[in-house]
Amino acid sequence: HHPFPGCVGHGPETLPASAVPAAGNGAGGIDKLGCESMKIVPATAEIVKAFAGKEYSRSARMLAIVDSERILGIGGLYQDWNRQVAFMDLTDEARRHPRALVRATHIVMGWIRESRLPTHALCDEEIKQAAAFLELWGFRRLNKGVFSWQE
């Protein structure tokens, strides 16, 4: 069960005012990722609610991709019985920043490796390159839209 069904593809939401200091890079301009004003930050409950329009339905470890004022995507892991599920919910704009996506995914893959739990990912294969992206990171297809990763 995806935590935010039907939310993929909506426009970027404005960051809550209280989250802006955490997301800003202070100097502005190009950050160390080479992305203009693009940051990877912990996804607080406030950021998740601003992005998805509702509170997250389960406990999760999440990141957000933000620029100075907008939330461009969230992703992370949630527990589901004896496994965990990796997820991403991205705007079209976030998909145009591959360096930020790779950096965020690298962090989440570290969490996956640390946990040593079987990990699944649900994928909307209508989104161009979504399945290929999962396969690039070592997930293998079990069924249409269902992928598995295990060290």
For residues 65 and 101, the answer to whether their CB atoms sit within 8 Å is yes
* Residue found by looking up tokens 């957000």 in the block: 64
Angle at 88 between CA 16 and CA 103, to 5 degrees: 85
- On the question of pLDDT at 100 being above 90, the answer is yes
pLDDT band at 21 (very low <50, low <70, confident <90, very high): very low
The Cα–Cα gap between 53 and 39 comes to: 21
Q: What is the pLDDT of residue 46?
A: 92
Average pLDDT of the segment spanning 92-121: 93
According to DSSP, the β-strands at 70-80 and 60-66 are antiparallel
Q: What is the pTM of this model?
A: 0.75
CA 75 to the chain's CA centroid: 2
The Cα–Cα gap between 92 and 12 comes to: 9
- On the question of pLDDT at 24 being above 70, the answer is no
- Percent of the chain scoring above 70 in pLDDT: 76
Average pLDDT of the segment spanning 39-53: 93
- On the question of pLDDT at 2 being above 90, the answer is no
- On the question of pLDDT at 22 being above 60, the answer is no
Mean pLDDT over each residue of the chain, to the nearest integer: 80
Element (H, E) at 42: strand 39-42
